[in-house]
Amino acid sequence: MNSRQRAYLSSLANSIDPIFQIGKASLTPEIISALDSAIEKRELIKVSVLKNCADDPREIASMIAERTRSQVVKVIGKKMIFYREAKKNPQIKLPE
The 8 Å CB, 24+ separation contacts for 62-71 are: 63/27, 64/27, 64/32, 64/35, 67/27, 67/32, 67/36, 68/32, 68/35, 68/36, 68/39, 70/39, 71/1
Query: Is the residue at 93 inside a domain?
Result: no
Query: Is the residue at 52 inside a domain?
Result: yes
pLDDT at 94: 84
pLDDT string in tens for the chain (96-residue length): 888 999 999 999 999 999 999 988 888 899 999 999 999 999 999 999 999 988 899 999 999 999 999 999 999 999 999 999 988 888 888 888
Q: How many domains is the chain built from?
A: 1
Can you give the pTM of this predicted structure?
A: 0.90
pLDDT at 19: 93
Query: Is the residue at 90 inside a domain?
Result: no
pLDDT at 1: 82
Are 44 and 92 in contact, with CB atoms under 8 Å apart? yes
Query: Is the residue at 92 inside a domain?
Result: no
Integer Cα distance of 12 and 1 in angstroms = 15
Could you list the residue range(s) of the whole structural domain that residue 35 is in?
Answer: 3-83
pLDDT at 68: 93
Residue 70's CATH number: 3.30.110.60
Integer Cα distance of 16 and 56 in angstroms = 23
Cα angle for residues 51, 16, 34 (degrees, 5° grid): 65
